[in-house]
């Protein structure tokens, strides 16, 4: 059996290694148009920021290592320029061998993606850089190390743009990020994204949101960016981080089915419409695990899994890919932001009804030094099935999102979150872990023990129909409160019920939601119609 693999990095390299482990006698040839077959793409911003000091640490595998351990013929600087399914061969343009064809029994496509360049005048200027491969990273790091370079404009507020903003800012470079949408990091909903934006601004990053770039042009030694709001930014160089597109132009006309944006269409076995050809990684269109819609999520974890699954099926093992959750995490200075499953935008687009709750638990036991507060947002349906989660904080965010991601993968519910037995010791968590707390709050919402409302939902109500009550202490209230709110501390509420009008809805809030829940239970059992603002004052957009 002869298997050709087009592309390395995550998907292609994992497919090659898995296939060799399953079949010692298969002939496996890997083609990579660049110099390197497998390197840590996600580590590039940290290499540029000098967090990763040794460039060699970015290499996951080398051609020599792949040959020695897996007996794989790796051909770098060999670009596959066409696939010919009827002849079962590919055409290769190689630096060493020129143009030639190579036959196959099976073909695995892992061509990855390339930076998207928007149609902006001047976008091909030499002072505009992308960060997609090691060559890009070397060029940007060289600039960042130069004493003559003191400013950069980053176009695009996705993960790469934000990680580059942090790493360049830490090198003392003035950083501006221009994002065309109202908020950065589209994986997060607005109410979570604003917390990340505050961290960036606190660390000196200039955010220009809801603004497009109209043109880019050189102005002496500088580069000038004209914005859609009429303003101009000047910098020593520009990083283009406007997203990626599948690198599949070489497949057009081959008969391999492509999606509307050029992604390769595959089934759950990672097989294309041509049975001998499989595809994996950033270039493929897959199913969203939560809503079932077609999607493309360029993430290293899914790419590795897909490579393994393609190899399994070629080797005769029935293996399927059940969809992508989009579980992601990023470091933003001292803050960590992570998400899994669908956000509110995804669910609305898929027309899926959902409920939302917010909690603001401590990262570990509050009496143990160093505890910090996190924000955790949970999305679920009326049956309690968990649909997604987002979290932001300074400690412990990663493990909470990972736990919820596992529950989603197992089609779990908020009851499962509440029942999970998670490790506890004061330095690491609390007896009620933040995941448990989110489950409890969601359970109370679904069983009617809690009557929750979000701040955005409150804005839709007629102010004449409700009384807003701040149930925090007088001291907390005096430091800041919502305009129009009356202050009745929860511990005084039972004695002051006669101050409230039963003909109106009583909307309560506290700092994070717990005292609001206590107030809800007191008021509702005393004949009041009550709404408790989930997440409390800490979830209020300007709070």
How far apart CA 514 and CA 471 sit, in angstroms, is 10
Widest pairwise Cα distance in the chain: 89
- pLDDT per position as a tens digit, 187-196: 999 999 999 9
Structure tokens at 330: 């990023």
**pLDDT score, position 543:** 54
* Cβ atoms of 216 and 246 closer than 8 Å: no
Q: Is 339 a catalytic residue?
A: no
The answer to whether 389 and 378 are in contact (CB under 8 A) is yes
Number of residues that make up the chain:
543
Q: What is the pLDDT of residue 66?
A: 87
Residue found under tokens 């994992």: 14
For 201, list phi and psi in degrees, rounded to 5. Answer: -65, -35
Question: 3-class DSSP state for residue 456?
Answer: helix
Contacts of 38 (CB under 8 A, 6+ apart): 8, 9, 10, 13, 59, 60, 61, 62, 66
Instruction: Determine phi and psi for 323, rounding to 5 degrees.
Output: 115, 165
Q: pLDDT at position 220, please?
A: 87
Per-residue confidence (pLDDT) for residue 62, from 0 to 100: 82
Residue 168's H or E segment, with its range, is helix 159-170
Residue 388 has pLDDT above 60, yes or no: yes
Q: Phi/psi zone of residue 338: left (φ > 0), alpha (ψ -120 to 50 degrees), beta?
A: beta
Percent of the chain having pLDDT more than 90?
90
Specify the pairing of strand 355-359 against strand 375-380. antiparallel
Residue 517's pLDDT band (cuts 50, 70, 90): very high
pLDDT attached to residue 8: 84
- Eight-class DSSP state of 209: -
Task: Delineate the domains of the chain, giving CATH numbers in brackets.
Answer: 2-113+245-314 (3.50.50.60), 128-242 (3.50.50.60), 334-447 (3.50.50.60), 452-539 (3.40.250.10)
DSSP-based three-state secondary structure for 231: coil
> Could you report the per-residue pLDDT of 12-29, keeping only the tens digit for each?
999 999 999 999 999 999
Q: Percentage of the chain surpassing pLDDT 70?
A: 100
Q: Is the pLDDT of residue 248 over 60?
A: yes
Q: What is the pLDDT of residue 36?
A: 80
Residue 399: Cβ within 10 Å count: 18
- Using only the alpha carbons of the chain, give its radius of gyration: 27
Mean of pLDDT over the chain: 95
Alpha-carbon gap, residue 186 to 177, rounded angstroms:
15
Segment 300-305 long-range contacts (CB within 8 Å, at least 24 positions apart): 300/10, 300/41, 300/42, 301/327, 303/9, 303/10, 303/11, 303/14, 303/110, 304/10, 304/11, 304/14, 305/14
- Check 42, 145, 339, 510 and give the catalytic one: 42
For helices 11-22 and 63-70, what crossing angle results, to 10°? 20
The pLDDT confidence band at residue 377, using thresholds 50, 70 and 90, is very high
CA distance 244 to 111: 13
What was the pLDDT predicted at 65? 85
Instruction: Note the helical H segments in 171-299.
Output: 190-202
- The reported pLDDT for the residue numbered 60 is 77
**Sign for the pseudo-dihedral over CA of 349, 353, 359, 363:** negative
Helix, strand and coil in the chain, % to nearest 5 = 30, 30, 40
35 pLDDT band (50/70/90 cuts)?
A: confident
Task: Report CA-CA distances (Å) from 419 to 34, 335, 443, 484.
Answer: 49, 28, 11, 39
Sequence-distant (≥ 6) Cβ neighbours of residue 351 within 8 angstroms: none
pLDDT tens-digit series, residues 130-166:
998 888 999 999 999 988 899 999 999 999 999 999 9
Contact criterion met (CB below 8 Å) for 110 and 15: yes
Instruction: Note the pLDDT of residue 34.
Output: 85
**Of residues 539 and 271, which shows the higher confidence score?**
271
Beta strands in 10-118 (DSSP E): 27-32, 38-39, 59-61, 73-76, 78-84, 89-94, 98-103, 106-109, 113-115
Pairing of strands 113-115, 27-32: unpaired
pLDDT digit string, tens, across residues 67-114: 899 999 999 999 999 999 999 999 999 999 999 999 999 999 999 999
Per the listing, tokens 């809805």 go with 505
Give pLDDT, residue 542.
Answer: 65
Which pLDDT tens digit goes with each residue over 258-307? 999 999 999 999 999 999 999 999 999 999 999 999 999 999 999 999 99
Query: Distances from the Cα of 55 to the Cαs of 43, 60, 131, 192, in angstroms?
Result: 10, 11, 15, 34
């Amino acid at each position: 059996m002869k298997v050709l693999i087009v592309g390395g990095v995550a998907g292609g390299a994992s497919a090659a290694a898995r296939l060799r482990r399953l079949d010692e006698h298969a002939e496996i040839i890997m083609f990579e148009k660049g110099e390197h077959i497998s390197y840590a793409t996600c580590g590039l911003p940290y290499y540029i920021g000098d967090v990763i000091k040794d460039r060699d640490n970015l290499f996951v595998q080398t051609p020599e290592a792949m040959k020695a351990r897996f007996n794989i013929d790796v051909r770098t600087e060999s670009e596959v320029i066409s696939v010919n399914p009827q002849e079962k061969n590919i055409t290769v343009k190689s630096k060493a061998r020129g143009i030639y064809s190579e036959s196959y029994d099976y073909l695995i496509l892992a061509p990855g993606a390339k930076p998207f360049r928007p149609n902006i005048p001047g976008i091909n200027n030499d002072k505009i850089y992308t960060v997609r491969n090691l060559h890009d990273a070397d060029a940007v790091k060289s600039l960042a190390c130069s004493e003559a370079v003191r400013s950069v404009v980053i176009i695009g507020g996705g993960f790469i743009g934000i990680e580059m903003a942090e790493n360049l800012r830490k090198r003392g470079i003035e950083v501006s990020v221009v994002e065309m949408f109202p908020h950065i990091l589209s994986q997060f909903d607005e109410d979570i994204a604003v917390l990340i934006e505050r961290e960036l601004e606190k660390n000196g990053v200039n955010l220009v949101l809801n603004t497009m770039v109209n043109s880019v042009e050189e102005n002496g030694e500088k580069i000038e960016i004209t914005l859609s709001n009429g303003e101009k930014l000047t910098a020593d160089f520009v990083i283009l981080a406007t997203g990626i597109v599948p690198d599949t132009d070489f497949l057009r006309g081959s008969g391999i089915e492509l999606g509307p944006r050029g992604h390769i269409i595959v089934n759950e076995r990672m097989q294309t419409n041509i049975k001998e050809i499989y595809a994996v990684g950033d270039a493929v269109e897959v199913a969203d695990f939560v809503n079932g819609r077609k999607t493309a999520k360029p993430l290293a974890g899914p790419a590795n899994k897909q490579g393994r699954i393609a190899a399994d099926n070629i080797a005769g093992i029935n293996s399927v890919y059940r969809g992508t959750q989009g579980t992601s995490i990023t470091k933003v200075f001292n803050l960590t932001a992570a998400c899994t499953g669908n956000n509110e935008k995804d669910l609305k687009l898929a027309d899926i009804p959902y409920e939302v709750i917010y909690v603001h638990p401590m990262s570990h036991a509050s009496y143990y030094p160093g505890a910090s507060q996190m924000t955790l947002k949970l999305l679920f349906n009326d049956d309690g099935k968990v649909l997604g989660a987002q979290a932001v904080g300074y400690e412990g965010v990663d493990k909470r999102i990972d736990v919820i991601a596992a529950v989603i993968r197992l089609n779990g519910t908020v009851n499962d979150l509440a029942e999970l037995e998670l490790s506890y010791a004061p330095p690491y968590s609390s007896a009620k872990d933040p995941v448990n707390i989110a489950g409890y709050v969601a359970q109370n919402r679904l069983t009617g023990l809690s009557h929750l409302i979000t701040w955005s939902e409150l804005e839709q109500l007629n102010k004449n129909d409700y009384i807003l009550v701040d149930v925090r202490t007088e001291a907390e209230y005096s430091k800041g409160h919502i305009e129009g709110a009356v202050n009745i501390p929860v511990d005084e509420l039972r004695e002051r019920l006669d101050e409230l009008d039963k003909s109106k809805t009583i909307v309560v809030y506290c700092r994070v939601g717990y005292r609001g829940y206590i107030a809800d239970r007191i008021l509702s059992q005393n004949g009041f119609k009550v709404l408790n603002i989930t997440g409390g004052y800490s979830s209020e957009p300007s709070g």
